[in-house]
Amino acid sequence: MENKKDLFLNEVTNQIKAKEAKKYVADELGYHLKEAKNLWMEKGLTEIEAENKAVEQMGSPTMLGKQLNKLHKPKIDWLLLVLLVTTFGLGFLPMFSLGYMNETPFLINKTITVLLGGAAALGIMLLDYRKWKNLGWLFYTAGLLILIGIRVFSNTSINGVPLLKIPSIITIESSMALPFFFLAWGNIFQ
């Protein structure tokens, strides 16, 4: 049978939507309940009475849980999102100034690139990338595979620089390996 402390902690954490915050809140409240229980035991109460009194001091678990949910709610940085969309939009500016807006292949290629970049940014925003901190070797390998793939399977070149062109989808160049190398490098300094 669960004691009053565990029931209280369960009720509080049930109000919190952020999964990661639930553990921290439960640990923090558990610590405060233990401290309050020890104070009541020093005043002469039995262990069960002291625990019940400590839980009563905390107040309504539902109300506390709702307040902690507001405190630990993930927030979207709207300014950063607006800057990202603006940057994507500014990527079309050279096409306007150079007169490529009427040429469909350039417009389609640019639109696909912007949509893929937006999807990648959204994915990174929604994922917990802290779980990747021990995967530096994987990012380094991905970067190397991109460079080796371009060198071995290149089917076109511009100014002597080998490229891997996947017809009507995308052109892969060596600079596309840089984000993987940056992620691998970042793993060293964690």
What is the DSSP track for 25-81?
A: HHHHHHHHHHHHHHHHHHTT--HHHHHHHHHHHH--HHHHHHHHHHHT-----HHHH
The domain boundary, picked from 89, 112, 127, lies at 127
pLDDT at 172 over 70: yes
Strand order, beta sheet including 161-166: 156-158, 161-166, 170-172
Question: Within this chain, do residues 17 and 56 fall inside the same structural domain, yes or no?
Answer: yes
Question: Within this chain, do residues 123 and 137 fall inside the same structural domain, yes or no?
Answer: no
Strand partners, 12: none
Question: Within this chain, do residues 22 and 54 fall inside the same structural domain, yes or no?
Answer: yes
The domain boundary, picked from 107, 127, 147, lies at 127
For residue 158, the SS3 value is strand
Phi, psi of 102 (to 5 degrees): -90, -10
pLDDT digits (tens, 9 = 90+) for 25-43: 888 888 988 898 888 888 8
Question: Within this chain, do residues 137 and 97 fall inside the same structural domain, yes or no?
Answer: no
Strand partners, 172: 164
Question: Within this chain, do residues 10 and 63 fall inside the same structural domain, yes or no?
Answer: yes
Per the structure block, which two tokens stand in for 122?
A: 């959204």
> Closest Cα to residue 168, out of 112, 118, 91, 116?
112
Q: Looking up tokens 């062109």, which residue turns up?
A: 165
* Mean pLDDT for all residues in the chain: 83
Confidence of residue 185 (pLDDT cuts 50, 70, 90): confident
Question: Within this chain, do residues 52 and 85 fall inside the same structural domain, yes or no?
Answer: no
Question: Within this chain, do residues 33 and 64 fall inside the same structural domain, yes or no?
Answer: yes
Q: How far apart are CA 4 and CA 87, in angstroms?
A: 54
pLDDT digits (tens, 9 = 90+) for 116-168: 888 888 887 777 777 777 888 898 999 999 999 888 888 887 887 888 888 76
Domain count, the chain: 3
The domain boundary, picked from 127, 148, 168, lies at 127
Q: How far apart are CA 186 and CA 82, in angstroms?
A: 26
Question: Within this chain, do residues 83 and 115 fall inside the same structural domain, yes or no?
Answer: yes
Mean pLDDT in residue range 53-61: 86
Question: Within this chain, do residues 64 and 30 fall inside the same structural domain, yes or no?
Answer: yes
Question: Within this chain, do residues 62 and 81 fall inside the same structural domain, yes or no?
Answer: no
Structural domain for 137, as ranges? 131-190
Question: Within this chain, do residues 80 and 61 fall inside the same structural domain, yes or no?
Answer: no
Question: Within this chain, do residues 13 and 38 fall inside the same structural domain, yes or no?
Answer: yes
